[in-house]
Amino acid sequence: MEPNTLLEAQIDEAGVSRAGLAAHVNQAGRGRGLCLRYEHTAVARWLKGQRPRGQVPDLICEVLGDRLRRAVSLDDIGMAGQGGHPPAQGCSLTGFVERATALWRSDEQQRPHVVAAPAVTGTTAVMPVWEWENPPEDADVSRTGPTRVSMADIATLRAARAHYELMYRRAGGIATRSRIVGFLNAETAPLLRGGYSDAMGRQLHRATGGLVAVAGICAYDSDAHGLAQRYFHQALRLAKASGDRGLGGYVIALLVNQSLFLADYRQSVAFAEAALRAAGSDITPALAADLHAMQAKAYAHLGDGGSALKSVRRAESEAERIRPGQEPDETGYVQPGLVNVQVAEALLSLGDLSAAREHATAAVRTPAHDRGRVHRLAMLTTIELRQGEADRAAVTAAEMAERARGMESQRLRDRLRSVREHLVASGSTDAERAAELIDGSLRVPL
């Protein structure tokens, strides 16, 4: 059950409280001979995705329509389907835009039922990927609107994506999320509702997709997994509207990474395979390398050593083909050394500590932005501890703690806590000092 952001947007626009809406619905029901006793708690359930029975959805439309002085449909309030708020993939592109922008608004307002929503599983999680991979395509994405979208607008969105991605890498997703969501509401939503030709619209949807994907990364980094998933699904729909298969493959890579974190390893393998299959020749060496490396990690967790090593070889082969300047902006995260640390994690899961350390050491020796370097140092520390070299691990961990200082990232905090626990368990005096340094980094409030 997903939060009904469309209903929330209509209630906000109508300027009515939850208790007020319930009272007006009760009153409208009496006009139809119904005895209703709804209170604000019922409206809260509707906002969480529950669909009321009988004539009540029609009554909600009637009440909101009277206050807004226009017709309000079941689709407008997210209750057109029997299951409550339908996913954005199952509607027209125009309907998708309204649902997407309603989510951005709810996120900016920090609505608890949106921010704290859990990630969906099963068919609901798989359908957006299936719909991206399969026909029909969007034949025409043009739209009439109050303002014409120009190439200057597209350039602004692209620059914003690069800006917020850099901010995320330096400061973390928690600090960046509110800023990028504010930009989506203030600058991006009006453009999507503007006027544009099919050609301009495809560029607009592509630029927006890249920006929304970063918003999803920031939500993931903030531990808001349901929200992150919805942003990734939005980005996937935008990628389809743009006609850019490579962008869609990149978004699926983000879903693969989230599935790995949530320990859904079979889904990780399946999603990565879908991206590699459907993106075809549009997939770049960097993205292919990352997808194969993540598959290796998933197979390793599943205990399938043969498939894991096969994916490792494919990842390494693709990594050798990466050429700087020939990759889209989105795959810039696949920096030299990334595949090494991914492979090291897979080999660690398989119990090959020697090979894992070789890859982790190579990753640490390769220049990277601070966030990536923290993860690489954490992996090397973990391997050194597993090999019984606590004093050496303490030195590595001390550098990791210093690099992480000031970053507002739940994922990094989780990583630091895990490393700290293993350091303390080693019983080494140097390791205990390194643990104290990690404590200093963790004291930075989020």
24-57 per-position pLDDT tens digit: 999 999 988 889 999 999 999 999 889 998 899 9
How high is the pLDDT of residue 401? 94
pLDDT in tens, 86-104: 444 456 898 899 889 989 9
Q: Percent helix, strand and coil across the chain, each rounded to 5? A: 70, 0, 25
How high is the pLDDT of residue 443? 81
Confidence of residue 82 (pLDDT cuts 50, 70, 90): very low
Cα gap 431→74, rounded to integer Å: 60
CB within 8 Å of 438: residues ≥ 6 apart: 397, 400, 401, 416, 417, 419, 420, 423
How high is the pLDDT of residue 84? 37
Identify the CA nearest to 332 among candidates 433, 237, 156, 214.
214
Average of per-residue pLDDT values in the chain: 92
Confidence of residue 81 (pLDDT cuts 50, 70, 90): low
How high is the pLDDT of residue 324? 80
Greater pLDDT, 117 or 196: 196
How high is the pLDDT of residue 216? 98
Looking at residue 118, the DSSP 8-state letter turns out to be P
- Whether residue 375 contacts residue 333, with contact meaning beta carbons closer than 8 Å, is answered with no
User: Which pTM value belongs to this model?
Assistant: 0.85
The first and second tokens of residue 175, run together, are 């600090």
In this predicted structure, the answer to whether residue 67 has a pLDDT above a threshold of 80 is yes
